[in-house]
Amino acid sequence: MTELERTAAALEGAEVVGIASHVNPDGDSVGALLALAMVLTGAGKRVLPCIPEPWKYPPQYDFLPGREMLIAPDEIGEQPGLFAALDCSNIERLGPLRKKAEAAETLVNIDHHEDNTMFGGINLVDAMASSTSELVYKVIRKAGWPVSPEVATCLYTGVVTDTGRFHHRNTSPGTFVIAHELAAAGADLFRVVSEVYDSQSLSYTRLLGRALQRVEVMAEHEFAYSYITQQDLADTGATLPETEDLIDHLRSVRGTRVAALFKELPTGEVRVSLRSRDGFEVGPIARSMGGGGHAMAAGYTSDSDIAGSVNELVEKLRDRRG
């Protein structure tokens, strides 16, 4: 049996299913979570879909069908027999839901990170997949469950956001096949791009302005970076979950191969997002800082302040150049 077959069979046999995205959820983890929650509910299961703290639901995905099904981590009273972790490269990515996941009889790990630690009893992990949403689509098809227009919209959102609108290196011919199938199943293509990319709040637009205004470039490291403080959030009224795509503006500065966005958290720690291009790999840097991610999109959290975090990263870039 393949891991895909095992995953479909385990879900078909389950009665109570916990499902979770990773902390600081993005479009892929939210799309995969809502799609699987709707499909399993339709198949008669009791489903407990959850986003772990610390970050709240990103507002740009408010339009997604199934959003009302989500429950808070502390509302999961009962212990699900099966727990599915979505888009999590390791079990720490589940935050406070880790305990429920580990206590489940069957822990299913569905993910596309190359550094996945294979923490599940079943590990449907494929680093060649564009997104976890693509893998969830395959599971749904394998089990023979229907893909409603609502489910297709959620999965399409995952594929579109993780590929940066079919723009990043994880876009392959197979990505377009899946996009085609989701479009044919009734995914609301225009609503997805309109809500995710063409509906930013005025507060986020102002925050983006601040971040772009203060971009710094270190030409010797082909490095561009910027930062966001808690004060910026207070002044503009924007929230961190809205900043998912801000870093793409930094990577697109000509001459840049590595981009970083430093985001001050309420705890004073700094969340560092890394993106790269032209063969430069940021996954190993993020891992060496206690984080992780893909070769060209990764992240970690630092205990230092923003200036200290910038220095730490510059040291890493210096080491790499030798």
CB of 126 to Mn ion, least distance (A): 11
Q: Which of residues 3-22 bind ligand AMP (CB under 6 A)?
A: 22
Side chain identity at 243, as an amino acid letter?
T
CB of 29 to ligand AMP, least distance (A): 8
Chain residues that interact with Mn ion, rule: CB under 5 A: 26, 28-29, 87, 131-132, 162
| CA pair distance 14, 21, nearest whole angstrom | 19
CB closer to ligand AMP out of 65 and 241: 241
- Of 240, 279, 214, 197, nearest to 23 by C-alpha is 240
Q: Which DSSP symbol is given to 165?
A: T
Question: What is the phi-psi region of residue 268: left when phi exceeds 0, alpha when psi lies from -120 to 50, beta otherwise?
Answer: left
CB closer to ligand AMP out of 8 and 313: 313
User: C-alpha 201: how far from its chain's center?
Assistant: 21
Q: Could you tell me if 274 and 295 are in contact, meaning their C-beta atoms sit under 8 angstroms apart?
A: no
Q: Could you tell me if 20 and 101 are in contact, meaning their C-beta atoms sit under 8 angstroms apart?
A: yes
The yes or no reply on residue 276 touching ligand AMP (CB under 6 A) is no
Stretch that binds ligand AMP, among 57-65, 137-145, 209-217, 295-303 (CB under 6 A): 295-303
- Of 267, 263, 268, 260, nearest to 293 by C-alpha is 260
- Residue among 89, 131, 276, 302 that touches ligand AMP (CB under 6 A): 89
Side chain identity at 122, as an amino acid letter?
I
CB closer to ligand AMP out of 50 and 272: 272
DSSP element (H, E) containing 319: helix 306-321
The yes or no reply on residue 297 touching ligand AMP (CB under 6 A) is yes
CB closer to Mn ion out of 121 and 164: 164
Residue 27 contacts which entry, ligand AMP, Mn ion, none (Cβ below 5-8 A, type-dependent): none
CB of 110 to Mn ion, least distance (A): 10
The yes or no reply on residue 293 touching ligand AMP (CB under 6 A) is yes
- Residue among 64, 240, 298, 317 that touches ligand AMP (CB under 6 A): 298
Side chain identity at 272, as an amino acid letter?
V
| CA pair distance 67, 51, nearest whole angstrom | 11
The yes or no reply on residue 292 touching ligand AMP (CB under 6 A) is yes
- Residue among 294, 309, 316, 317 that touches ligand AMP (CB under 6 A): 294
| CA pair distance 41, 48, nearest whole angstrom | 10
- Cβ-closest position to ligand AMP: 293
Residue 300 contacts which entry, Mn ion, ligand AMP, none (Cβ below 5-8 A, type-dependent): ligand AMP
CB closer to Mn ion out of 111 and 222: 111
Triad 236, 242, 244: Cα angle to 5°:
130
The yes or no reply on residue 300 touching ligand AMP (CB under 6 A) is yes
Triad 292, 154, 205: Cα angle to 5°:
70
Contacting residues toward ligand AMP, per CB under 6 A:
22, 24, 26, 89, 93, 273, 291-294, 297-300
